[in-house]
Amino acid sequence: MASFDPGVITHNLPEIGHGLLLTLGTWAAGVSIGLLLGFVIAVIQLFAGKGVRGVLRAYIELFRGTPFLIQLFLLYYGGPNFGLTLEPMTAGVLGLGLYGSAYFAEVFRAGFQSVPKGHLEAAECLGLSRWQAVTRIQLPQMLVIIVPALTNLIIVLSKETAVLSIVTVPELTFVLTGIGTESFAFVETLLVLCVCYLALVELTSRTGTWAERRLARFALR
């Protein structure tokens, strides 16, 4: 029976550290793209006509209704058939951002709609334009409401970074899987992988709770 060997991890700490940093980088970039694109989609839906809203709705349903793994395969392996050739890292970050944007867009949309209509009517009575009402009334209030949902989605995307190993992005899962395959130390490598993701999720959750409290204090001023 093979014994637990922590030396497998200590001997490969530089590679594991590099994989962790790459995971954090792709996760941060993917979340940033998703947040920005999702927010733009939500705002456009507030002002656009029925036709544009229909196109955006189709986009959202497409990315929410299909697995991220399939989307990533189509983007990386199917892209060259349409003249789109991407490096693994680029495909991973872009795929993560597009996938997250559909969910973020729905959270932002729900947040905007959760603001009482009376507040917008009061803004109109004060002579504020639609854009001013959105930026000064709806946006501050909805940010407080949607922080828990945004935090949960960011946590989900952190775990989806493991899928990027399928397209050879050398992130944490890819590195530890390779070490486990070479040394047959699957228990040790998978345990480290679990600990790293648990720590990342816990840190994100605590940050979300802190941000929610800060925004709530700001909104009450």
Burial bucket for residue 54 (CB in 10 Å: 0-12, 13-18, 19+): exposed
Query: By the 8 A CB rule, do 131 and 138 touch?
Result: no
Of all residues in the chain, the percent with pLDDT exceeding 90 is 64
Query: By the 8 A CB rule, do 79 and 85 touch?
Result: yes
Instruction: Report DSSP letters for 124-190, one per residue.
Output: HHTT--HHHHIIIIIHHHHHHHHHHHHHHHHHHHHHHGGGGGGGT--SHHHHHHHHHHHH--HHHHH
Res 111: pLDDT: 87
Q: Rounded mean pLDDT of 200-221?
A: 82
Write out 155-172 in H/E/C secondary structure.
HHHHHHHHHHHHHCCCCH
Cβ–Cβ contacts within 10 Å for residue 27, how many?
22
Residue type for position 219:
A
Of all residues in the chain, the percent with pLDDT exceeding 70 is 95
Q: At what angle do helices 139-160 and 88-114 cross, to 10 degrees?
A: 150
For the chain, domain boundaries: 8-219
Q: Summarize pLDDT for 59-96 with one digit per residue, the tens.
A: 999 999 999 999 999 999 999 998 999 999 999 999 99
Residue type for position 193:
L
- DSSP secondary structure letter of residue 115: S
Sign for the CA dihedral angle at 45, 219, 35, 146 comes to negative
Structural domain 8-219, CATH architecture: Orthogonal Bundle (1.10)
CA 89 to chain centre: 16
The vertex-150 CA angle with 147 and 156, nearest 5°, equals 145
Q: Summarize pLDDT for 121-174 with one digit per residue, the tens.
A: 777 777 777 777 777 777 778 888 899 999 999 999 999 999 999 999 999 999
Distance CA 121, CA 118 (A): 5
By 3-state DSSP, what share of the chain in percent is helix, strand and coil, each rounded to 5? 85, 0, 15
